[in-house]
Structures are given as C-alpha cells and as structure tokens.
Amino acid sequence: MILPRVRDPRFVTIRRGGTLTDSDHHLLALWAASCAEHVLDLFESARPEDLRPRQAIEHARAWVRGEVTMMQARAAGGHAMGAARDLRGAARHAAYAAGQAGAVAHVAAHELGAAAYAIKAARAAVPEGDREAASRRECRWQRDQLPETIRELVLDDQRLRNEICWSVFDC
C-alpha cells in the first residue's frame, strides 16, 4: 500500500478540486520517471527483451509533452507492473517503479510509489550488509533530482507516507 486512505488535496489537480497545478503535476511525473529510470537496468538485465517498464517511463514523459493521453500513460504503467508479476527482488521492484511512474499521469500521488520502489530495487540489488547504505544513497540521489518548485511538497509527502512506503525515505 503506497497511497493514503484519504487523498491529499495537494496531489489532486485544481480542475478536480485540489490544489495541484498542471505544471507541478508534470514535474512530479518527470521526477517519478527519473527515479524509475535510475534503476531500470536492474529489470532489463533480468528481462532484456521485455520493453514494458521502459515504455511506461517513456509514456510518462510523453504524457508531459502532450504526446499521449493520461489513459495511455496509465495503461503503460499497468503493463509495466504486469512485467513484475513473476519476478522477485530488484528486477521486480524496478518494474513496479516504472509502473508507478506511468500511473502518475492518472494519480499524481503515485510519484512516491515510483521513488519507493526504486529505493527497494537499489536495496535488493546489493548484498545484505550493504542494503541500508544503498537505500540511503538512492534516496539522496532522488532528492537531488527534485525540481525546486516541488521539492518541499515531495519531502513533506515522504515524511507523511514514509511508514506506508516501507520506511524507505529515512535518509
């Protein structure tokens, strides 16, 4: 579970009664795509012939550019999550990260899912004794990628949802 029971109006677009601007929604999608892409090789090394996670990331970015619809980006995200089903470990988490990135076009709050799964992927990719350090490195890398205009929003979201996101944002 990565979404809160009650939707935060800061992640609902203005036209739907929230406070999120379209430009900030786009920034969230681009950041989520970057988080997912950062660990994509962990999936692609296990399944180089399966393009679904990469396509989900590309669809997230294409949605921002107005080249695909929200429904197309969301569907690509669902297909990426389907690619994860029979996998375990880092490859599975990386595919889920891509799926979450694709879903940001539909529900902006999936931005944190992309980030959390990417951290889980980075953690699962290293030996047991190195996992905490890998988690912190990935979390810090993600924070370094945050555009200034959404930085405080995402950091606050991480604080609020850290517990339901496997406490991966303790970095």
Query: Tell me, what's the pLDDT at 11?
Result: 97
pLDDT in tens, 37-50: 999 999 999 999 99
Q: Is 152 exposed, middle or buried (0-12, 13-18, 19+ CB in 10 A)?
A: exposed
pLDDT beyond 70 at 1: no
Q: Supply the pTM of this predicted model.
A: 0.97
Rounded distance, CA 91 to CA 47, Å?
8
pLDDT in tens, 91-143: 999 999 999 999 999 999 999 999 999 999 999 999 999 999 999 999 999 99
pLDDT in tens, 60-103: 999 999 999 999 999 999 999 999 999 999 999 999 999 999 99
pLDDT in tens, 144-166: 999 999 999 999 999 999 999 99
